Amino acid sequence: MKVIRNNLLAGAILAVALFAGEKVGAQPGVVHSNQLPTAFQALVPQGATLDAPQTTKMPGSGTGTVTFAARRTGKDGRFETGYLFELTIVTARAIETVEKWRTMYKQDLESKVGSKMKEANSSEICDDELPELTEYTWGAGITWRTVCKNTDGDNIRNEIYYDGIYYGFIGEDGGIFKLFTLTVKYGENPEEADEWAKKAAQLISETSLDQL
């Protein structure tokens, strides 16, 4: 059986910890919640288990983060499809810094995409095929097919999974920037990751800091 890797959840929890600090409640102006904002609840697939939702925001500085993971057992019961959502909202304090920030975030996104396209994740039992890059108005998605050998007694069969990671950047009026990373592991079909990521990007574009 394939299960979602622990580092998927660890990455989400670490992202929140780095932003909010260990003693979030002790920091003035910081609002912290272990509940998933209503605006994003539709991103938990039907039948999936929600793991480690974390929401942190600092209204005074126009900053906030939302992270959560979800997992759903595949229809054949042999593996789990994993989903990871990571969003950061920041607001430029001065109008003269907006373009500088926009350029910085765009370059960071391009760097992440370039590095991921070169990354090799094959192992002794799994082979990753060449990744495919798809560009969107809000960023870029990298998807690939993974073929794993499953040994069951004397029987050896290939199991095929579809993975995807999406890097997004949305700039809005008032110097507001929404930065996000969306990950799908062990998807059952090639459309699953794309559809989930596009839905997530749409909801992110429609959601304000006040709604976190």
Q: What is the mean pLDDT of residues 74-100?
A: 86
Predicted TM-score of the model (pTM):
0.83
Dihedrals phi, psi of 210, to nearest 5 degrees:
-65, -25
Report the percent of the chain where pLDDT is more than 90.
58
In a 13 Å sphere around the CA of 114, the CA atoms on its Cβ side amount to 6
Domains of the chain: which residue ranges? 6-211
The rounded distance, in Å, linking the Cα atoms of 18 and 139 is: 24
Q: Measured in Å, how far apart are the chain's first and last C-alpha atoms?
A: 35
Residue 134 CA to residue 14 CA, distance in Å, equals 28
In this predicted structure, the answer to whether residue 177 has a pLDDT above a threshold of 80 is yes
Q: What is the pLDDT of residue 159?
A: 81
CB 80 within 8 A of CB 72: yes
Q: E-strand spans in the chain?
A: 31-33, 49-58, 63-73, 80-91, 126-128, 132-136, 139-152, 155-172, 176-187
d(CA 109, CA 189): 26
> Higher pLDDT residue, 114 or 29?
114
The answer to which of 33-42, 90-99, 102-111 has the lowest mean pLDDT is 90-99
pLDDT tens string 134-145? 999 999 999 999
Q: What are the phi and psi torsion angles at 52 (to 5°)?
A: 50, 50
Buried b / exposed e over 172-208, threshold 16 CB at 10 Å, is eeebbbbbbbbbbbbbeeeebbbebbeebbebbeebe
